[in-house]
């Protein structure tokens, strides 16, 4: 298991606090914080990762 925060760009300002679910397309629904404000976020696979873990993109 890997932290979702390790899979997103650190410069994005996002801190993923809790994952809530994943669908068949691999999209993850989670709670995240940006600039101290809590959001519901969907994390989408953007490309396969060489080590097997997939980087994700956060959208609010």
For the beta sheet containing 14-22, the strands, ordered from the edge strand earlier in sequence to the opposite edge, are 14-22, 28-34, 37-45, 56-59
- What residues make up the domain containing 14? 4-59
**Could you tell me which residue, 54 or 37, shows the higher pLDDT?**
37
**Could you tell me which residue, 45 or 40, shows the higher pLDDT?**
40
**Could you tell me which residue, 35 or 53, shows the higher pLDDT?**
35
Euclidean distance between CA atoms 48 and 1, whole angstroms: 17
pTM of the model: 0.68
How many separate domains does the chain show?
A: 1
Average pLDDT rounded to a whole number, residues 27-45 = 94
Nearest alpha-carbon partner for 60 in 1, 16, 7: 16
The DSSP line for 31-45 is EEEETTEEEEEEEEE
Residues 6+ apart with CB under 8 A from 52: none
């Amino acid at each position: 298991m890997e932290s979702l925060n390790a899979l997103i760009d650190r410069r994005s300002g996002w801190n993923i606090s809790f994952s809530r679910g994943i669908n068949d397309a691999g999209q993850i629904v989670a709670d995240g914080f940006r600039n101290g404000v809590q959001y519901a976020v969907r994390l989408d696979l953007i490309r396969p990762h060489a080590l097997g873990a997939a980087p994700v993109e956060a959208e609010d």
